[in-house]
Amino acid sequence: MIPVMLHIPKNAGTYIQHVVFKYFVRTKQQPGQYIRKITVEQDNINITAFCNFKTDYWKTDPNMKRHPVSVMRNVNNPRAGWCTLDTFNTYLQNDQLDTLFYVAEPAGMNDMRLTVNQIHKLIDATDDQVINFTILREPFSRQQSLYHYLRGEESTHEPSHDTFTCDTFEQHLISNQLEDSWLVRVLTGDVNMSIDQGLFEQACSYLDVNNFLIGDIQETDQLLDQVLQTCFECVTTTEDRKNPHRNSTKIENKITIEDLDEQTKQKFLEHTYWDRKLWERYCK
């Protein structure tokens, strides 16, 4: 079986990718092979694939390029790369790599089902099976983290860096830039429509039909180990989880929802109603 993670921003996705990379280097890399993290993009599809390369052809292949973040930072990171879906398919068909772990990455507000379904096709082509999972997070905590992350230096590599214009998180909560029900939208394709019970149930149905294992962010390590145990018969170690890159943000004046004035609190709860319903459905 091959794990497929649906990556929701600010829900431990970067942490998980850091841990599984070290896990695969420890458990899967053999002499003459090389574990690499490859971004695979085409049209509205954005995939991260953790692969065990069986040959060195990628080192000279002009179609296997440096990762965009490596280019931006002017570094050479052979452990990361970028290619189109066609190039990736060619490597699979020629048995030049084994895929170990897929991540369905956000592509703006594009329908993430396209990416998940494409990953399933890649796995089907290798006669493997899928285990889908994702991490959810209490909406107020996630929005606070997202606001400070996109306003801070840690996100300079992100296309959405510094797009939030409010000077404080409290102002952001009552602005028209506050995100609403992002996951429901990207699992239904309805970017501009008002979210209702029908769209909410449609998003939940996609998660349920595809047998997604879903955990709260506080359960990240336990859920990840459950997935890895199922697929590879061993779990992560303390060393795998040591000094991870969490894509986390230091928040100097962190607040709780109870610190808000009643008007701001109610507006936030109304705006993120379906996000909270989703989290409560699967995590409470």
Which pLDDT band holds residue 241 (cuts at 50, 70, 90)? very high
Can you give the chain as a three-state secondary structure string?
A: CEEEEECCCCCCHHHHHHHHHHHHHHHCCCCCCEEEEEEEEECCEEEEEEEEECCCHHHCCCCCECCHHHHHHCCCCCCEEEEEHHHHHHHHHCCCEEEEEEEECCCCCCCHHHHHHHHHHHHHHCCCCEEEEEEECCHHHHHHHHHHHHHCHHHCCCCCCCCCCCCCHHHHHCCCCCCCCHHHHHCCCCCCCCCCHHHHHHHHHHHHHCCCEEEEHHHHHHHHHHHHHHHHCCCCCCCCCCCCCCCCCCCCCCCCHHHCCHHHHHHHHHHCHHHHHHHHHHHC
Count of structural domains within the chain: 1
Residue-level pLDDT at 253: 75
Residue 265, in any domain of the structure: yes
Q: Each residue of 193-226: pLDDT tens digit? A: 889 999 999 999 999 999 999 999 999 999 999 9
Residue 200, in any domain of the structure: yes
Highest-scoring range by mean pLDDT, 97-101, 105-109, 239-243: 97-101
Residue 207, in any domain of the structure: yes
Give the CATH number, domain containing residue 31: 3.40.50
Residue 167, in any domain of the structure: yes
Residue-level pLDDT at 46: 96
Residue-level pLDDT at 245: 61
Residue 115, in any domain of the structure: yes
Q: Each residue of 120-145: pLDDT tens digit? A: 999 999 999 999 999 999 999 999 99
What's the domain range around 226? 2-237+247-283
Residue 11, in any domain of the structure: yes
Which pLDDT band holds residue 155 (cuts at 50, 70, 90)? low
Which pLDDT band holds residue 4 (cuts at 50, 70, 90)? very high
Residue 278, in any domain of the structure: yes
Q: Each residue of 20-54: pLDDT tens digit? A: 999 999 999 988 889 999 999 998 999 999 999 99
Residue 242, in any domain of the structure: no
